Every structure is written in C-alpha cells, then in structure tokens.
A and B are shown apart, each in its own frame.
Chain A
C-alpha cells in the first residue's frame, strides 16, 4: 500500500531546515542560554528522523551519505581528547578554560574550550541515535 503523503513531504522539506538551524542555535547558545551539546545533537538527529519518516531510508541515505557509526565514534574520540588534552599543558584532566575576545562590530565574544567537549557530546548523540534508528528501520525493510 502506497501512502500519499505529499503534504508531509512538502512541509518536511522546509521544516527540516528550520530544525537544523535551531539545532545549530541550541548548540552554540548552550553556554549562557538553554541548549548545549546534548540537546543540539538530539535536535539534529530529530531533523534526520523527520526526513526518514516522511520519505524513506533510501532517500535519507542518498541525501546524507554519512556513516553515523563513524560520527558517533568521532564524537566519543573528541570527548576523550578534550579530556586528556589539558594534561599536555600541565593542567588537570578535563580542565576547561575560556577567553573573552572583543570583536569590533559584533561585540564581546566568548571562546571556550568547553565548546569542543560539547561538540563531541553532540556528535556522539547524533551518531548513536541515527545508528540505532537506521539499523532498526533497515531491519523493517
């Protein structure tokens, strides 16, 4: 049985980009406002899940030809590296630091090493959620 879901598909096309933007926003806002690596990763994943639900697994893999296992592994690796890297500078394990930079037009910009750590978290969450959902739905097909 072929379900006609033109409306879902058309809306998804637009909504996915909104979700992706939201995910990026949440990821970077995390330090001072609600958001962060975990939510960023989850929202990113939910954008892909929406594509998966409104189209099918083949379209998703054609559109985003990424191996999510590698994404997850990369994330875990980044988290580990950001844990051990401070040791090289004589600091404690998982030590985080930040730096405020003044950019002329933009204003005060805070650069923090925690962003790197959060990136690892986000990638792992995205990778693991997508790996699980994809492998289960592949099994369905």
Chain B
C-alpha cells in the first residue's frame, strides 16, 4: 500500500520540481501534461484501497515533528477522508486536464500549476491529518494557496481585492479554529482526533465545550463560506475558471463541511452544535439562493449557488448530528440518513457544479463575456456545451434523471424529520425547516432556469468578437466526464453508496450498525417529497415567467446594509484608525523617538529590577581608584559638561570623541585590552561617521543655554539606571556567578581569551543574532539613503 505521507508530499514535491525547472519550462507548450499524471496516479492508488476501506479498515501513519510538544504528523484514512481524497484527486485530474486547453502559455502557467499542486498537497493533508496541529497547518496552507490562485491575474484590481478578502476571512476563521483546537487539547489531553473521539465520554460534559464549538465552527463556516462569511466566495471568482471549479466549488470550500463531519462524533452531544450548524446552514441556503437569482455574471451566479449548496450540506450535517444527541436514540435511521444525504450531495455537487463551471469557462473563453444581459441564443453554436449545461443545472435544480434529484429528495426527507425532534420545545420552529428548505429550493430552480434560458436561448446576441463556435474537443472532455457521472450516479446510486458513502458514515458514527444505513432509492412513490418537487417546478415556472416583477424585491435590500459594505467599511476604518494612532507618535523628530526608547528602557528595566528586588549598591571588592583614574574621570566629566554649552556642532562631535577615547584609556588602566581595542576602533569609526553626517545637518547655532526639564530628567534617569544596573549585576543576587566559565574557558572552549570565548562560544547565539541585526541595520541604512532620491515614485500601483 502506498504510504499516506507519500501521497500528501507527492504534489509538494512536484511543485518543488516545477519551481526548479520553471525557467526551462516557460516556453514549453501545455506543461499541464507533466502535471496531470500526479493526481491521476494518486486517484488510482486511492481506488485500490477502496475495498479495504469499504470493509471497515482504516490506515494510520505517524511521523514525528516536534516530539517535545507532542506534535506529530499523524495521518488517518477512513471512509470520510476517502471521499475527499477521491474528490481532490479526481476533480483535480479533470481540472488540470481542462486547464491544459483553457490557459494559454503566455499566462505564466508554470506558476499556475505550482499553486495548484501546492493546494492539492495541502488539501490532501487536511483530509488525511489526524493530528489537530498538522490539520491546522495544512488548513492554513489551503487558504494561502487559494489566495495565490485568486490573485493569479494580479494585474487586475478585482483579483487582488478578492484574494485579500478571501485571505482575511478564511485566516480569521482559521485562527479561531486554532484557539478551539488548543482548548480541545487542554480538556482532552491529546491532539489526535481519533483518540479524542475514543475518549469522548470523559470530555462530554466539560463547561468549555460550547466555546470550543463556537471557535471551531468559526473556522468551518468561514472556509465553507457560510452566512455571514459567504461574501468572500463571489470575490474569489476573479480566479481563472479551472480554479473556481476546483477550489471554490469542489474541494477547498468543502473543507468546512469536512471539519463539521469529522468533529460530529465529538460535539454532536451538545444541543448548540445542532442549532448552530443547521440554522446557519439553512440561512446560508436560503439567502445565497435568493441572491444568486439577481446575479448577472454567470460565475457570480454559480458562486452564490455554491454558497447555497454548501449551506444545504451544512444543514444536513446539523440534522444528522441529532442522532448522537442524548435525547435521541441511535437506534433509528431517522437522522443518520441525513448524514448519508449530506455526503451524497457533497459528491453530487462536485460533479454537477464542476461541469457547470467548466461550461461557463468555455463560454467565457469563446464568446469573451459572462454577462447574462449580453449572452443569448448560444444554443445554435454550442450544442454540446448546452447539453452539459442542461445536465448540470437540472441536476442542481433537483430534477430527474440526474443525481441532484436523489439527494434533493433525501434533503426534503431529513427536513421533514426535524419536526420529530422537539429542540426549542416550540412546534412552529421545527416546521420552519421544511418550509425554508422548500422556498430555497424554489429559488435554486429559478436561477438554474435563468442560467440555461438566458444563456442558450432568447435573442441572439450581436457578435462583438470572440469565436461563435463549439469549444475544442479537449476542452469538452472534462465537463463531459462529469456530466456522464451526473447521469450515471442517478441510475446506480448504490454502488457509490456501498463503497464510498457507507464507510464514511461509519467514521462519523463509530457505533452505528449496518441495518441503520438504508440504501438510496430512486423512486419512493408519491410521497410528500415528490409533491414538494412538483410544486417547485410549477411555482418556479410561474415566477420565471413573471421574473421582471420578481426582480423588484431586490430593491428592498440597500447596499449599505449588506455584509460586503460592512467588510469594506471595517477595512477602511481599521486603515484610518491605524493612521491616526501611528501619526500620534510618529512625529518625524528623531529626538522624540530617542525619548520613547529611553523612557521605555528606564521604566521597564528599573521597575522590573525593583520587582525582583535585585538592586545592590555594594562597592565591596572593587578595584582601588588611583589618582590617575580620578583625573581621567574628571576630564570626562568636564567634557560632558562642555558638550552642553559649546556653540558649534563640530566641537560637540570632537568632545564626544574625546569621551570615547578616555573611556578606552580607562579600559587600559583596568587591564581590559579587548574592550580598549574595541572602544578605540569603534570610536574612530563613529567619529568619522558623525563627521560625514555632519554635512547633512541644517545650519545651527546655540543662542543661549536653556535647561529643558523633561530632557534633563530623561538624561539623568538613563544615567542612573545604567549605573545601578552595572552595580547590581556584579552583586550576583539574581543569578549564580559565572566566573567559573572564565576560569575554565581554555578547557570548555579551547581559548584563553575569555572575551572571545564568550562572544564565539558561550554566548555565540547572542553574537549570531547581533550579526544578523547589524546586517539588517546596514541594509536598512543603505536602502533609506539610496531610495531617498526616488521620492517621486508611483504611490499607487493600481493601473
């Protein structure tokens, strides 16, 4: 069997190879052919272990990462991760195949495939990870690769804004989830998800549980674009269409679904889990479906429809969690069937939405627009694309004979079953579920019809450029495969059910028995669900006929109340706030900055030393002061006072230099040749530097000496602090004396010069960081001086 680590690292390795050979590959036509074997290979190897997974086996692996903190790369393949593994590699293969024809070579395709492989590897990492920390790392990696892919055409402002929005929202959620993970680790004592599930009885009643749920759900909801975080997904449509098909409908946005499903056995015991997941899901389903209808950009329409379908799956997972609720007996398939429906719809959605995105990519590629107001009558030119689009959107609308019909019926069943669980002790709220679900499905039906009829029928558009003909054969292959799957799954749903869905249900309900998972039936007879579907078709067609009147309801929602407006305003406010705060202390006066540094230094150091009771003023054991030393000190004092009153800058610099050299002399007297040497050379060079900088200072003359009390205080306190610290260090009150290091320096470090052994051996880490800081400072000075002259450079890089 193939190692799971190898499966995860293969895309990363390939991406790395692409980076190395990027230059050689720039002019190669269709380099996607080199990338394509990777997902196909992974897909096939996953297929090989399906029988094992279906028989209930799971595979684990372990690689130590930071063993000190119990952090490892733990991996686990079970039914649930298998579904996602197959989607990631299967849809991934098709998307790369499609991109080979979709992207032209001028568009830096190497970069595109590097990002795509990066995403593929991290997404596989997310679904195969069993350790909370490795899960989190891969989770953020998917956010980053999504950011890079959305901003693929970074020259466009829309792409950059969309990428920024997606990153801000998903990383915010990721951080919240990280907090949740840490809390979960605190109460359970382990990072392994499997171990947490195994020890669920001990943490079930913990008072932290509701907070953990909220934090982890924030991560899941932001990633899966649930209301009100859904606003990033339409912005993400600025990415190339294959990316939208892959990340933003089939895989990455389903990571939140994955998290919810994965953590169901841990959190489903809490009522708040069911309430949050199902109501947020239902709200998302409804709101996004309503918003989708008024979109005029085909991709935006599909984005909102994705959001809405994700809400549908989320709702089903919430309802499915009920079967683990303490007040519900597990011995009923009432709610477990909702999980089957969720997983089933997850697969179905990937197939039909992937096909739809690819068709819209074709339209955009051929016609050059995705605007519904301009498109029309394409049926005559593109019969094949039309067929695929019909299959995809009819499946999305929930019509037979397509797979969406089956999962939509199961969704209605689950919604009708919610009534049996009396969760708010209010009858009415539970019956809202099927009603909202029905209305949302009605909207879904309407936008599916808009998608088909506005694009392919109606008045023929005037030819504004672009080729009005069917797409090339290669481009049609990938969506055709997906469309065939859509039909195939409708007729033989139980093959999928037995091998893929059933094992996944086992990983969500470890305790379930086989007879509780019912097979999927194509035809249930004339029950409530089928009546609901018929109702949708009839009412939907009526509304579609009167759509111009219907569109007027959107004028009820002003933009100023939308979440998009809230998002852009909060960005604006934080920008403004940061500016105000920064301008408050960044005064552009060097003397102010120095004052900040000194004040912070004095206050922090002296208060901390006071807190530790480390002050010591003892002068015992100090070197005796000879008259010679007193003379030197006296001249230093005189020089210091002179500096305050001399009227010229040059004199100040020279006097300052004198102080430095006098200190070097003191070092010589006290037999510290290293320090004396260093002080001498440093003083020489700083004086030179001073004289060089002197040239730039404005003309200055001291009028009359005036004492500035605040500066006087700062100066005195800095001096006092330094003296006191120096005296206290010698007392050895806080730390043991380190004298033995000096005495044994020759044995410990092989050098008899203790200053140097301190620098190069005992405290080498300090020296190393100082060297790095020095280097950074040097580069900083260079850059500041060099680019000062380019002040007129473009402030805004927007075109």
How many Å from the CB of A30 to the closest CB on chain B?
5
Q: Would A38 and B751 be within 8 Å (CB), given that A46-B685, A133-B692 are in contact?
A: no
Is A140 in contact with B695, judged by CB distance below 8 angstroms?
yes
Nearest opposing residue in chain A for B770, CB measure: A121
Is B681 in contact with A39, judged by CB distance below 8 angstroms?
yes
Within 8 A of B (CB), among A90-141: 93-94, 96-98, 110, 112, 114, 117-118, 120-121, 124-125, 127-129, 131-133, 135-140
> What are the interface flags for B478-491 relative to A under an 8 Å C-beta threshold, 1 for contact and 0 otherwise?
00000000000000
A127 to B781 CA separation, bound complex (whole angstroms): 13
* B627 contacts chain A at the CB level, 8 A cutoff: no
Residues of A within 8 A of B429 (CB): none
A140 to B691 CA separation, bound complex (whole angstroms): 11
A112 to B757 CA separation, bound complex (whole angstroms): 11
Residues of B within 8 A of A31 (CB): 750-753, 756-757
Q: Would A34 and B677 be within 8 Å (CB), given that A136-B693, A140-B692 are in contact?
A: yes
* A62 contacts chain B at the CB level, 8 A cutoff: no
How many Å from the CB of A26 to the closest CB on chain B?
7
Is B685 in contact with A96, judged by CB distance below 8 angstroms?
no
Is A79 in contact with B772, judged by CB distance below 8 angstroms?
yes
Nearest opposing residue in chain A for B674, CB measure: A34
* B760 contacts chain A at the CB level, 8 A cutoff: yes
Q: Would A39 and B678 be within 8 Å (CB), given that A49-B688, A76-B775, A133-B692 are in contact?
A: yes
Within 8 A of B (CB), among A36-95: 36-39, 42-43, 45-46, 49, 53, 69, 72-73, 75-76, 79-80, 83, 93-94
Is A75 in contact with B775, judged by CB distance below 8 angstroms?
yes
A69 to B753 CA separation, bound complex (whole angstroms): 30
How many Å from the CB of A125 to the closest CB on chain B?
7
* A2 contacts chain B at the CB level, 8 A cutoff: no
Is B785 in contact with A117, judged by CB distance below 8 angstroms?
no
How many Å from the CB of B683 to the closest CB on chain A?
10
A57 to B768 CA separation, bound complex (whole angstroms): 31
* B684 contacts chain A at the CB level, 8 A cutoff: yes
Is B768 in contact with A83, judged by CB distance below 8 angstroms?
yes
* B765 contacts chain A at the CB level, 8 A cutoff: yes
Which residue of A36, A98, A129 is within 8 Å of B755 (Cβ)?
A36
A132 to B755 CA separation, bound complex (whole angstroms): 27
> What are the interface flags for B253-284 relative to A under an 8 Å C-beta threshold, 1 for contact and 0 otherwise?
00000000000000000000000000000000
A134 to B695 CA separation, bound complex (whole angstroms): 14
A120 to B760 CA separation, bound complex (whole angstroms): 11
Q: Would A114 and B677 be within 8 Å (CB), given that A37-B759, A94-B768, A135-B786 are in contact?
A: no
A33 to B757 CA separation, bound complex (whole angstroms): 11
Q: Would A42 and B681 be within 8 Å (CB), given that A31-B756, A128-B774 are in contact?
A: yes
* B764 contacts chain A at the CB level, 8 A cutoff: yes
* B782 contacts chain A at the CB level, 8 A cutoff: yes
A136 to B771 CA separation, bound complex (whole angstroms): 21
Residues of A within 8 A of B764 (CB): 83, 94, 96, 117
Nearest opposing residue in chain B for A111, CB measure: B750
* B383 contacts chain A at the CB level, 8 A cutoff: no
* B400 contacts chain A at the CB level, 8 A cutoff: no
Within 8 A of B (CB), among A1-49: 26, 30-39, 42-43, 45-46, 49
How many Å from the CB of B370 to the closest CB on chain A?
48
Q: Would A133 and B688 be within 8 Å (CB), given that A112-B750, A117-B764, A140-B695 are in contact?
A: yes
Q: Would A132 and B775 be within 8 Å (CB), given that A45-B685, A94-B768 are in contact?
A: no
Is B778 in contact with A127, judged by CB distance below 8 angstroms?
yes
Residues of A within 8 A of B755 (CB): 34, 36
How many Å from the CB of B685 to the closest CB on chain A?
6
Is A75 in contact with B753, judged by CB distance below 8 angstroms?
no
A82 to B540 CA separation, bound complex (whole angstroms): 72
A80 to B774 CA separation, bound complex (whole angstroms): 14
Q: Would A137 and B692 be within 8 Å (CB), given that A75-B775, A124-B771 are in contact?
A: yes
Is A96 in contact with B775, judged by CB distance below 8 angstroms?
no
Q: Would A125 and B786 be within 8 Å (CB), given that A35-B677, A117-B760, A137-B692 are in contact?
A: no
* B682 contacts chain A at the CB level, 8 A cutoff: yes
Is A114 in contact with B685, judged by CB distance below 8 angstroms?
no
How many Å from the CB of A14 to the closest CB on chain B?
18
Residues of A within 8 A of B631 (CB): none
A94 to B688 CA separation, bound complex (whole angstroms): 34
Nearest opposing residue in chain B for A77, CB measure: B775
Residues of A within 8 A of B779 (CB): 69, 72, 131
How many Å from the CB of B667 to the closest CB on chain A?
11
How many Å from the CB of A99 to the closest CB on chain B?
9
How many Å from the CB of A60 to the closest CB on chain B?
13
How many Å from the CB of A92 to the closest CB on chain B?
10
How many Å from the CB of B665 to the closest CB on chain A?
15
Is A136 in contact with B785, judged by CB distance below 8 angstroms?
yes
Nearest opposing residue in chain B for A42, CB measure: B681
Is B774 in contact with A33, judged by CB distance below 8 angstroms?
no
Is B677 in contact with A112, judged by CB distance below 8 angstroms?
no
* B725 contacts chain A at the CB level, 8 A cutoff: no
Residues of A within 8 A of B689 (CB): 132-133, 136
Is A34 in contact with B760, judged by CB distance below 8 angstroms?
no
Nearest opposing residue in chain B for A44, CB measure: B681
Task: Select the residue from B677, B695, B760 with max chain A CB neighbours within 10 A.
Answer: B760
Is A132 in contact with B778, judged by CB distance below 8 angstroms?
yes
Residues of B within 8 A of A76 (CB): 771-772, 775
Nearest opposing residue in chain B for A130, CB measure: B778
Is A135 in contact with B677, judged by CB distance below 8 angstroms?
no
Is B782 in contact with A69, judged by CB distance below 8 angstroms?
yes
* B777 contacts chain A at the CB level, 8 A cutoff: yes
Residues of A within 8 A of B682 (CB): 42
A128 to B757 CA separation, bound complex (whole angstroms): 23
A32 to B753 CA separation, bound complex (whole angstroms): 4
> What are the interface flags for B668-688 relative to A under an 8 Å C-beta threshold, 1 for contact and 0 otherwise?
000001100110011011001
Q: Would A96 and B760 be within 8 Å (CB), given that A42-B681, A42-B682 are in contact?
A: yes
Residues of A within 8 A of B684 (CB): 46, 49
How many Å from the CB of A65 to the closest CB on chain B?
18
Is A79 in contact with B771, judged by CB distance below 8 angstroms?
yes
Nearest opposing residue in chain B for A139, CB measure: B785
A96 to B689 CA separation, bound complex (whole angstroms): 35
How many Å from the CB of B654 to the closest CB on chain A?
16
Within 8 A of A (CB), among B740-799: 749-753, 755-757, 759-761, 764-765, 767-768, 771-772, 774-775, 777-779, 781-782, 785-786, 788
Residues of A within 8 A of B696 (CB): 139-140
How many Å from the CB of B317 to the closest CB on chain A?
46
A14 to B268 CA separation, bound complex (whole angstroms): 85
Q: Would A53 and B688 be within 8 Å (CB), given that A39-B681, A140-B695 are in contact?
A: yes
Residues of A within 8 A of B777 (CB): 128
A61 to B782 CA separation, bound complex (whole angstroms): 17
Is A132 in contact with B781, judged by CB distance below 8 angstroms?
yes
Top 3 nearest A-B pairs (CB, nearest first) are A128-B778, A98-B750, A34-B673
Given contacts A30-B756, A135-B781, 13 further A-B contacts (CB under 8 A): A31-B753, A34-B674, A38-B759, A42-B681, A46-B681, A46-B684, A49-B685, A69-B779, A76-B771, A94-B768, A96-B749, A129-B778, A131-B782
Pull 23 A–B residue pairs with CB atoms less than 8 Å apart, ordered by A.
A32-B752, A33-B753, A36-B756, A39-B681, A45-B685, A69-B778, A69-B779, A69-B782, A72-B779, A96-B750, A98-B749, A114-B749, A114-B750, A114-B760, A117-B764, A118-B756, A118-B760, A124-B774, A128-B775, A129-B778, A131-B781, A135-B781, A137-B692
Residue positions of A touching B, CB distance < 8 A: 26, 30-39, 42-43, 45-46, 49, 53, 69, 72-73, 75-76, 79-80, 83, 93-94, 96-98, 110, 112, 114, 117-118, 120-121, 124-125, 127-129, 131-133, 135-140
